[in-house]
Amino acid sequence: MKDVLLITPPFTQLNTPYPATAYLKGFLNTKNYSSFQMDLGIEVILKLFSKKGLAALFEFAFQQKNITTTNSQRIYALQEEYLKTIDPVIDFLQGKSQTFARQICSEQFLPKASRFEQLDDMEWAFGSMGLQDKAKHLATLYLEDISDFIMECVDENFGFSRYAERLGKSANSFDELYESLHTKTTYIDNVTLTILDERLQTEQPKLVCISVPFPGNLYSAFRCAQWIKKKHPTIKVSMGGGFPNTELRSVTDVRVFNFFDYITLDDGELPVELLLSNTIHPNTSNPNYKFFKRTFLKENNAVNYNNSSPKKDYKQSEVGTPDYSDLLLDQYISVIEIANPMHSLWSDGRWNKLTMAHGCYWGKCTFCDISLDYIKIYEPVAAKLLVDRVEQMIQQTTENGFHFVDEAAPPALMRAFAIEIIKRKISISWWTNIRFEKSFTKDLCILLKASGCIAVSGGLEVASDRLLTLIDKGVTVAQVAQVTRNFTEAGIMVHSYLMYGYPTQTEQETIDSLEMVRQLFELGVIQSGFWHQFALTTHSPIGLNPSDYGIIPDYRDISFANNDIDFKDTTGINHDQFSFGLKKSLFNFMHGIGFELPLHNWFDFKIPKTTIKKDFIIDLLNTEEVMLPKPTSKIVWLGGKPIISHTTKSKKGMTSIISNLTFHTQEESITIKTVKEDGEWLQKILEKLSINENSSVLTFAQLKSDYENHLDTFELFWYSKPMDTLKNHGLLIL
């Protein structure tokens, strides 16, 4: 018997669990509440995509007489081949049988339907990928064929990362979702509810908390809640997560609470703790009795928002380490869907999820929900505590890949984290979201790479300085170009979020933005990107003050979900027409082709000529300022100890001793020559500058003072040729 059951409803990701329940479980451990968590998404997928599950799907489709399309008829005719291959393919994608890659890549093994018609294009898009990746991609197409069969013949709402998403998008009224919940349960519903009921019977929780991160989880969340209310009426049910945090802040439809007893907003730790104190041991003498935190509930047949608890939210240092126990970590499926390097990180491999800082340290972008607590309240985690959590999670999950799910990871904390990782000699791979700000110098990027950083994503948004100022992004195109080059040259992949259709954006600015993006890809300083069309959200500065940005919102009566707002742009420009051309050109740029084509080739309508010079970005990169070290700049040495030898040099009757310091890196060996006194000082100081358990980072001022206490003028030595060589091989100014 458990105090609480934590559920992620279908569907989110195939390759890794969504982290919300792991965060909550980690917190509940600190409060000695017993909990069990489950990812219903992966459990349903594994049930469907098995020999037994697939046989049942084929039988159901046949009985329903739904096998009508040419594609579904082909798949049904090849059902024996699918039944024979499904279990070994799933095993391979779970990493259990890597030698099976050769079999999957052979021509005759996998049955093929319509998804494989793209294969010629995909071979071009992916190039000469390795055997394992090619097998993953072929296996992914195979699964997508089966997915198409399910949508055509069994359940049109099915999707690997969403279910009935349409019902959760812009659902200002609860009516359509309510009506759907009172129709017969679907095939996928029945699979989901069977798994859920088995878990409810084994765990017997007093409270069920369902985390709903996206619109594609909403319908299933309500189906689960409906089932619990019907079959286990004594269990209390609560909803939290990203969807209610952004969309259900003004819910008034009392029918919602026929399914859920509670809906909590924002950080879940304290609200869930108070729910437990009110459901497990409800008594009037409890000081928390009927005191809640940011919680909707039904009282007197009306929706009431209860935020009466005087308790303050927990600090990030107090919420505990995310706990991934109970989840089927060895059964997630790695897939390779599309030829986008960053998107492959999302779908291939299992990642431990952590957060460097709560909220966003910038918190000004006008399109973002900066009025909400998950953005507005900024609180970083101390680097040492963060690395403690990394070590605990590696021990628990045996995985050393980390995705930091920050709104924008702060550069100073990333630096401290990297130093702590290197100091403890931990080998990890990690990636995160950032702002392309000038703090990301060449040397900081090298440090991040040394700590295991493999990729960053950030918003260039609209590559126009006028619009970046209007967005209040706090960056310029020149800054983005220089920072992305710093990351790229350090060996860290860069993904850029791109935006079109921003209020007041002209056609000229859209085309000029595309030209700048073209140049960034041609120069190789960005490797991955994705165009998003601007969407107006009610909690953003634009949504709160639309007239300031030249748009006319189409407000509707809200009784359920409230986030995306339809609007008219007073410019009258149809931004939708640019979508295909922008995405097609970017797809080509990501694969190193199409740079020489005029921009109008990507569009089937007339566009203005770009006003951006062909060498605009390269000129920006060539005019980068040389930054002199500040006295407070930290100096770090990433290299090893040198091998020292001495030679004697005679010139005009004068004899001097030269120190030869040879450094071995993973790629090469370098030797620098200095006078003996400088060589001896350098040998000692590099040991102090090395990152290890006993080191304390020195500043530039401290380094200068130490040198001049023993020798001569520091600047002459610092800007000498030997020191320039070291600066290019691991001596970093941070």
Please, what is the end-to-end C-alpha distance for the chain in angstroms? 52
Cβ partners under 8 Å of residue 228, min gap 6: 196, 200, 208, 235, 237
For residues 312 and 401, state if they share a domain.
no
Give pLDDT, residue 124: 57
Instruction: Determine, yes or no, domain membership for 699.
Output: yes
Whether 556 and 172 have beta carbons less than 8 Å apart is answered as yes
What is the mean pLDDT of each successive set of 10 residues along the chain, which is 734 residues long?
Answer: 96 93 97 96 97 96 92 96 96 92 90 85 61 88 95 92 78 91 96 97 97 95 97 96 94 97 97 91 69 95 95 95 96 81 77 95 92 92 96 96 95 96 96 95 96 95 90 92 96 95 94 96 94 91 89 87 85 92 93 93 96 94 77 92 87 80 88 90 91 80 92 90 92 93
Give pLDDT, residue 196: 98
Give pLDDT, residue 283: 67
- SS3 breakdown of the chain: % helix, strand, coil, rounded to 5? 45, 15, 40
Cross-strand partners of 532? 499
Cis peptide before 11 (omega within 30 of 0): yes
User: How many Cβ atoms are within 10 Å of 307's Cβ, its own excluded?
Assistant: 12
For residues 311 and 401, state if they share a domain.
no
Q: Which of 129, 153, 177 is the last residue of a domain?
A: 153
Dist. CA 292–CA 274, nearest whole Å: 6
Total residues belonging to the chain: 734
Domain containing 134 equals 67-153
For residues 642 and 592, state if they share a domain.
no
Dist. CA 559–CA 552, nearest whole Å: 22
Instruction: Determine, yes or no, domain membership for 72.
Output: yes
Instruction: Determine, yes or no, domain membership for 158.
Output: no
DSSP state of 602: G
Q: What is the CATH number of the domain that holds 497?
A: 3.80.30.20
Angle at 425 between CA 422 and CA 427, to 5 degrees: 90
For residues 169 and 136, state if they share a domain.
no
Q: What is the CATH number of the domain that holds 301?
A: 3.40.50.2300
For residues 603 and 667, state if they share a domain.
no
Instruction: Determine, yes or no, domain membership for 330.
Output: no
Give pLDDT, residue 338: 66
Contacts made by residues 552-558, CB under 8 angstroms, sequence distance 24+? 556/172, 557/172, 557/173, 558/172, 558/250, 558/252
For residues 348 and 287, state if they share a domain.
no
For residues 660 and 727, state if they share a domain.
yes
Instruction: Determine, yes or no, domain membership for 324.
Output: no
For residues 409 and 296, state if they share a domain.
no
* Nearest CA-CA partner of 172 in 563, 567, 568: 563
Instruction: Determine, yes or no, domain membership for 236.
Output: yes
For residues 533 and 668, state if they share a domain.
no
Angle at 322 between CA 319 and CA 326, to 5 degrees: 130
Task: Give how far the C-alpha of residue 426 lies from the chain's centroid of Cα atoms, to the nearest Å.
Answer: 22
Q: Which of 257, 283, 318 is the last residue of a domain?
A: 318
Instruction: Determine, yes or no, domain membership for 591.
Output: yes
CA distances from 192 to 38, 50, 149 (A): 12, 15, 19
Q: Which of 124, 153, 182 is the last residue of a domain?
A: 153
For residues 392 and 487, state if they share a domain.
yes
For residues 595 and 718, state if they share a domain.
no
Instruction: Determine, yes or no, domain membership for 183.
Output: yes
SS (H, E, C) 510-573: HHHHHHHHHHHHHCCCCCEEEEEECCEECCCHHHHCHHHHCEEECCCCCCCCCCEECEEECCCC
SS (H, E, C) 92-158: HHCCCCHHHHHHHHCCCCCCCCHHHHHHHHHHHHHCCCCHHHHHHHHHHHHHHHHHHHHHHHCCCCC
> Number of structural domains, the chain?
4
For residues 480 and 454, state if they share a domain.
yes
